[in-house]
């Protein structure tokens, strides 16, 4: 729970510092590249995440990497903040949350859509239009496959879940039977 709060706090701070779509796209790309670099060099990530490694040593390693990568100032500053607080291991989760909070800041509602099979574009558009009329504003669909679904959809926005799946229908039917 504490880790989730940290991820949200760092991501929210980053989103608040962004000035526009262009800066968001640049920063997202640069942070993704940096994250991939860390993930592809496990020993480097382990060393940078090791609390025994002196803070100044960690910062020097990051400076050396960033000098070669030539990242924007904002991206570099954010990476330094994570490194100073020994939080570099949070970067993949921050990257996952970043577009959701960015859309939220722009007034775009994000829905996570889970289906048994990939949705066709026509199905996505139909669902998007329905949700836009419900929200009275633009929406962004983050679609994923859930192999546990037999059929139908499960749609989530924050803590609200619309379960229109076969599994959900069967669960409701079971509850009614148990209740009598």
The third-level CATH classification (topology) of the domain covering 2-103 is Peroxidase; domain 1 (1.10.520)
Give the integer Cα–Cα distance in Å for 78 and 14.
Answer: 8
Structure tokens at 170: 């069967």
Does position 24 have pLDDT exceeding 60, yes or no? Answer: yes
Q: For residues 98 and 102, what is the distance between their CA atoms, to the nearest angstrom?
A: 6
Question: Where residue 155 falls among pLDDT bands split at 50, 70, 90?
Answer: confident
Mean pLDDT (whole number) for 149-155:
83
Q: What is the pLDDT of residue 69?
A: 81
Mean pLDDT of 39-45: 84
User: For position 23, what pLDDT does the model report?
Assistant: 95
**Residue keyed to tokens 């998007």:** 128
Is residue 78 classed as helix, strand or coil in its secondary structure? helix
pLDDT reading at 1 higher than 70: no
Q: What is the pLDDT averaged over residues 9-37?
A: 93
Percent of the chain with pLDDT over 70: 98
Residue 85: Cβ within 10 Å count: 12
Helices (H) and strands (E) in the chain, counts: 8, 4
Tens digit of each residue's pLDDT (9 = 90 or more) over 90-105: 999 999 999 989 988 9
Q: DSSP 3-state assignment of 113?
A: strand
Every domain of the chain with CATH number 1.10.520 lies at 2-103
């Amino acid at each position: 729970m504490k880790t989730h709060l940290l991820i949200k706090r760092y991501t929210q701070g980053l989103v608040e510092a962004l000035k526009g779509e262009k800066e968001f796209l640049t920063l997202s790309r640069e942070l993704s590249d940096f994250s991939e670099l860390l993930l592809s060099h496990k020993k480097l990530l382990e060393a940078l995440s090791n609390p025994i490694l002196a803070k100044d040593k960690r910062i020097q390693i990051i400076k050396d990497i960033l000098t070669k990568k030539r990242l924007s100032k904002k991206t570099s500053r954010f990476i330094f903040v994570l490194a100073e607080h020994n939080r570099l291991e949070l970067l993949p989760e921050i990257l996952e949350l970043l577009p959701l909070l960015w859309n939220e800041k722009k007034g775009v509602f994000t829905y996570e859509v889970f289906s048994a099979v990939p949705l066709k574009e026509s199905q996505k558009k139909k669902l998007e239009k329905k949700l836009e009329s419900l929200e009275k504003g633009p929406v962004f669909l983050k679609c994923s496959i859930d192999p546990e679904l037999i059929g139908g959809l499960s749609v989530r926005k924050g803590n609200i879940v619309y379960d229109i799946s076969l599994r959900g229908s069967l669960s409701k039917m079971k509850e009614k039977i148990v209740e009598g």
